[in-house]
Amino acid sequence: MRVLRRGDGGPAVAEVRSTLAALGLLPSNGSGDRSASSFDETVEHAVRSFQQQRGLITDGVVGPATYRALRDATYQLGARPLAYLVSAPVSGDDVLTLQERLLELGFDAGRPNGVFGAQTEHALRTFQGDYGLKVDGICGPETLRGLRQLSPRARGGSPVLLREQERVRKAGPRLRGKRIVIDPGHGGPDSGVTVGGVREADLVWDLARRLEGRMVATGMQALLSRGRDQCPTEADRAGFANEVGGDLFLSLHSDANSSPLAQGVASFHFGTASGSTSTIGETLAGFVQRELAVRTGLLDCHAHRKTWDTLRLTRCPAVRIEIGYLTNQDDRRRLADPAFRDVVAEGILVAVKRLYLLGENDQPTGTFTFADVLRHELAKAE
């Protein structure tokens, strides 16, 4: 689909307006006049509100991610049968509701991301078998009645999130053998933000290689999600992490803003408006944020939950790091310095180490060094 923004018109805009009106974000316009298919300021404001609610980039523009989210928001559980389709997975708010309901009942549907995948089908089939329903992996009327009649069995936290925490605990404090997917943003024909000859894609590629070298030195398996001249989609990057069995996914970016005063570092993890979140992703994002803010002196823009595909579709905990604003003269100058990128790479490595230490034998933020990490790994090996 083409990207829609203020000033556009036509049937595609009319569809967006209709969806926003159905969601209560835009007054209905049944007059049939020209304004019913016009992307005006009111529509832009409604799109921004929708994007903010759904954890998307709040730019007021309807691109592929926003259009998909608008479409998904129109589906309510029970309005259509749900099943696992390998070639074209079904997605929507109805799938998200199904996943959350299965998790409440104690069935491991995986991360509640609104995509009907193999794990959701397995959980649904297990539920059907346990409760004497036809085991077909399809959420139809009979299965839906069963889901609605039962009381939740899971108490004291979401099972999928508790399992995520337990996997990290069992993994132990050593970094050796941990498989980390490093995702340099953009690439190939997509240079990302470019200001004053400084290209985001080049900066994060260099940072990824510096981080990769440090991780390999500690015994970790560090895998890059793309080659230097490649630009996979966000879904493909997440798919790569899933295929290689990544333990963590780290996506590296720099930011931009229309105001040259915007500056700082921010981290993002998976989380929905309904409260579902990756607790390990949130913990790691917090560690990354604190380490980078203290070590670099960049303004602390905090950690936030989002539903971007690289966070939503990865099975492992995932964090996206926006390191500085290339539209800010001071941030851009610092990012262009290789020594500064070394500091950033060390901070991210230490944040990963802190995650696996789980608070044991830890040190104050900003004081743990690469040499400390190596000594700790050596001591554990003896």
Q: pLDDT (tens digit, 9 = 90+) per residue, 211-230?
A: 999 999 999 999 999 999 99
Please tell me the predicted confidence (pLDDT) of residue 29.
Answer: 65
Q: What is the pTM of this model?
A: 0.87
From residue 70, alpha-carbon distances to 67, 74, 364 in Å are 5, 7, 44
The DSSP element (H or E) to which 145 belongs, if any, is helix 141-149
For position 364, what pLDDT does the model report? 81
What are the strands of the beta sheet with 221-224, ordered from one edge?
221-224, 179-184, 248-255, 318-325, 265-270, 300-306
Residue-level pLDDT at 365 = 86
Can 11-73 and 174-381 be said to share one CATH topology?
no
Exposure letters 250-259 (e unless 16+ CB within 10 A, then b): bbbbbbbeee
Residue 297 identity (one-letter amino acid): G
CB under 8 Å, gap of 24 or more: what pairs does 129-138 form?
137/83, 137/84, 138/81, 138/82, 138/83
Q: Supply the CATH classification number for the domain 174-381.
A: 3.40.630.40
Q: What mean pLDDT do residues 251-261 have? A: 96
CATH hierarchy code of domain 11-73: 1.10.101
Task: Tell me what the mean pLDDT of segment 257-275 comes to.
Answer: 92
Give the residue with greater pLDDT, 159 vs 357: 357
pLDDT, tens digit, 9 for 90 and up, residues 90-119: 999 999 999 989 988 889 898 899 999 999
DSSP 37: G
Residue 375 vs residue 20, higher pLDDT? 20
Q: Where are the chain's structural domains?
A: 11-73, 93-159, 174-381
> What architecture is the 93-159 domain classified under in CATH?
Orthogonal Bundle (1.10)
- Total residues found in the chain within this entry: 382
> 202: pLDDT confidence band, cut at 50, 70 and 90?
very high
Q: Who wins on pLDDT, 161 or 301?
A: 301
What average pLDDT is seen over the chain?
Answer: 92
Binning pLDDT at 50, 70 and 90, where does residue 368 land? confident
Q: Which tokens sit at 262? A: 């915007």
Comparing 320 with 375, the larger pLDDT belongs to 320
The pLDDT of residue 274: 72
Q: What is the mean pLDDT of residues 326-355?
A: 97
Where residue 272 falls among pLDDT bands split at 50, 70, 90? Answer: confident
Paired strand residues for 265: 300, 323
Nearest to 65 by CA among 313, 308, 315, 311: 308
DSSP run (H or E) holding 241: helix 234-243
